[in-house]
A and B are shown apart, each in its own frame.
Chain A
Amino acid sequence: EKFGLGRAALPEEIAAWDGDIGPDGTGLPVGSGDALIGEDIFATQCAACHGDFAEGIDNWPKLAGGADTLDHEDPLKTVGSYWPYLSTAFDYIKRSMPYGNAGTLSDDDVYAIVAYILYSNDLIEDDFVLSNESFFDVEMPNADGFILDNRAETEYNIWRGEPCMENCKTEVTVTMRAMVLDVTPEETGDDAPAPDTKVEAAKVEEAPAPVVAAFDADLAAKGEKVFRKCKSCHQLGEGAKNRSGPVLTGIMDNPAAAVDGFKYSKALKSAAEGGLIWNETELAAFLAKPKAYLKGTKMSFAGLRKETDQAAVIEYLKSFEE
């Protein structure tokens, strides 16, 4: 039965609202962008919440990192580590981002931002041009990480029958109490105390004697490019000032946590007290996975996964002696 209500939707109206993009690429617009363009757009449109490196600020979503954490405690679910379809990133960013200014990005902008997020997840090189044609050249690491709801087999057929009413257990003890965590909002408006932030000092082994190697100018030049990831927090050379990270002039082969006027984390300070020297080995290990190397570090950077990038940045830092 038809009621004859409503009116036909016009093609322009459908075009204006129907922007969803399916996992097979249905709806994907013509356009392109790469990570270098995307980095600039990301810095102005996205970084305030998601961080310069898509690492997420405070409680805002982290978009990069988390590889191989899904079967760990508190997995880090990012576009790189978790999202099964790249179409979802384009669809969501185009429709709903930037937060507070949704729907204002051009298709090319969205391709570039998606490319930058992929690059931040080490899923593409910085010269890869993401477009409607190259879209499916990108492999999403967790594409096979999903199964359909199987509660019927794993739960519904077990949790049924006649439940126990008497002598169901011999004794019961309290094993965990919410009072201990004390994170419940107070009705009087008092702030809950900050959660316990226990900082474990990193183990610091005795630093080997510095090895004097020839300076590699080409490698340092590569390092200058990689250092763009570090620049918004760290300055170098003449007139350098501490920002959210300390000045890095003269860091190589010198004691850690030594820049005057910078508030280092407890973790780094205690490592410095333990004799940490930023030689190539230590710095490379720190740059690879800052948070794993030094639990409690304030440096929010996810890390330079490639050894060549670590070496290049280190070489570049060598060229800035005090």
Chain B
Amino acid sequence: QSPDPLITELQPWAQGFGDGVDATPYGLPIEFEGDVIRRNVEWLTADTVSSINFTPIHALDGTITPQGCAFERHHSGAIELRKEDYRLMLNGLVDTPLVFSYADLERFPRENHVYFCECAANTGMEWAGAQLNGAQFTHGMIHNMEYTGVPLRTLLEEAGLDMAGDLSDKWVYVEGADASSNGRSIPMEKALDDCLIAFKANGEALRKEHGYPVRLVVPGWEGNMWVKWIRRIEVTDGPIESREETSKYTDVLENGIARKWTWAMDAKSVVTSPSPQAPITHGKGPLVITGLAWSGRGAITRVDVSKDGGMTWESARLAKPGEKMALTRFYLDTDWDGSEMMLQSRAMDDTGYIQPTKTQLREVRGLNSIYHNNCIQTWLVRSNGEAENVEVS
């Protein structure tokens, strides 16, 4: 082996200057990471204004999703709403209907929490068979951020809930300020439990595409309920049964009957690398197999990985103990002998739930559910290191 010129020769970056501190007042990733971006699947929807894109989970590590590449879902486009023009109304069965400005919200005691937000349709294109070739496309309708905001409970109590009487059968209806409004009904129990009126994510203001200046956070529940640009919260004595909770986000079973109010996202995991967009490029030897696991009903307690399509499993290492309703990173540090692998991961949460196989899901739900597909994913990794999305027996 000859000496490496990158070491033996003086390199330009070691000789002259780099950028000064005022070159990028707000930085983007370095150009060499330019392919780590959200992507759209054009044939999925009629128009990008009412569509979804996908987080490049195959290229990320750790658990926090940078806002700039966290998936977007809009029903009428991402609007630009200034903090000064922002109003939040609480009305309905409250003692005093109130209007808050953005500045008002910042004066309530606030909290910080890390939560994942997963679209109920994540992995939805895979019900009938292996279709999209990449973890970004099969599992990228998810992001995980640290939110700063005011508990919804605090605002509801500020408006007063005496008038609502028995709260056990009450609901809140929430809607956004954009043209779609994306109204959803949420049971009062959840509204008072852990919902957050959030205005910061990962330490900075929400991005436009995630609801700037204020969005709702509904931990563990399907992303459609996390209303962006939230403008109104109405206490009601029943669900509104809006378009987004009847015609959409309901799950048709094999007999044609549909489940509704399937809010919680069940435990799920996926190997993010190696995967079709993240092939093995280094040949046999030490290999880090890694992925993400999450549960909308609790904390991840264990993730098992199989290299042979589910015949044998070994438990992966969690980067840190699972946190409730947040992404958990797992690693399997292994030695690859260069032979073909059928890679799978299987998550368990603290309710004792085990992530099901596709076959198990289909036995209960058939093929037409669209939403809530949390099946075990298989990547066929060939001896040349390339990977493909497959289904196995």
Contact = CB atoms under 8 A, between A and B. Distances in A.
Whether chain B is bound by chain A comes out as yes
Interface of A: 1-3, 5-9, 13-14, 17-18, 20-24, 49, 58-60, 70-75, 77, 79, 82-85, 87-88, 91-92, 95-96, 99-100, 102-103, 145-151, 154-156, 159-161, 163-179, 181, 183-185, 187, 192
A183 B276 CA distance: 14
30 contacts: A8-B96, A8-B98, A8-B99, A9-B97, A17-B91, A20-B175, A24-B238, A58-B46, A73-B367, A79-B247, A88-B241, A100-B76, A102-B181, A145-B258, A147-B260, A154-B364, A155-B266, A155-B356, A160-B352, A163-B313, A165-B314, A167-B312, A169-B309, A169-B393, A172-B310, A174-B392, A175-B392, A178-B388, A178-B390, A185-B40
Given A5-B100, A21-B240, A173-B392, A75 B313 contact: no
Given A92-B242, A183-B131, A20 B266 contact: no
Given A20-B234, A23-B241, A88-B247, A159 B367 contact: no
B252 interface: yes
A172 B393 contact: yes
Contacts of A49: 46
Contact of A96 (B39, B98, B180, B277): B180
B220 to A, nearest CB: 14
A17 B313 contact: no
B391 A165 contact: no
Nearest 5 pairs of A and B residues by beta carbon:
A71-B256, A172-B309, A70-B256, A59-B46, A178-B389
Contacts of A17: 89, 91, 231-232
Contacts of A79: 247
Contacts of B388: 177-179
B354 A160 contact: yes
Given A9-B90, A60-B46, A88-B242, A77 B356 contact: no
Nearest to A178: B389
A75 B98 contact: no
Contacts of A22: 236, 238, 240-241
Contact of B131 (A74, A164, A165, A181): A181
Contacts of B367: 73
A96 B179 contact: yes
Interface stretch (B25-33, B132-140, B328-336): B132-140
Interface in B120-139: 129-134, 137
A151 B242 CA distance: 22
Nearest to B357: A159
Given A70-B256, A91-B243, A161-B352, A184 B98 contact: no
A171 B348 CA distance: 24
Interface string B317-361: 000000000000000000000000010001010011111100010
B89 to A, nearest CB: 5
A260 B311 CA distance: 63
Interface in B226-272: 231-232, 234, 236, 238-243, 246-247, 250, 252, 254-264, 266
A82 B370 CA distance: 15
A178 B133 contact: yes
The secondary-structure label for the interface of chain A is: loop
A163 B304 contact: yes
Given A22-B238, A149-B263, 10 more contacts: A6-B104, A85-B241, A88-B242, A159-B356, A161-B352, A167-B312, A171-B393, A178-B133, A178-B390, A187-B39
Contacts of A187: 35, 39, 277
Nearest to A102: B179
Contacts, number: 250
A88 B348 contact: no
Q: Output the residue of A2, A49, A60, A159 with the most chain B CB within 10 A.
A: A159
A2 B312 CA distance: 57
A147 B39 contact: no
Nearest to A84: B246
Contacts of B263: 149
A160 B380 contact: no
A71 B254 contact: yes
B97 A5 contact: no
A108 to B, nearest CB: 21
Given A18-B91, A20-B173, A148 B42 contact: no
Nearest to B159: A6
Nearest to A5: B104
Q: Output the residue of B130, B243, B308, B311 with the most chain A CB within 10 A.
A: B243
A13 B99 contact: yes
Interface string B266-285: 10000000001100000000
A136 to B, nearest CB: 14
B324 to A, nearest CB: 17
Nearest to A82: B247
Contact of A18 (B44, B232, B368): B232
A302 to B, nearest CB: 18
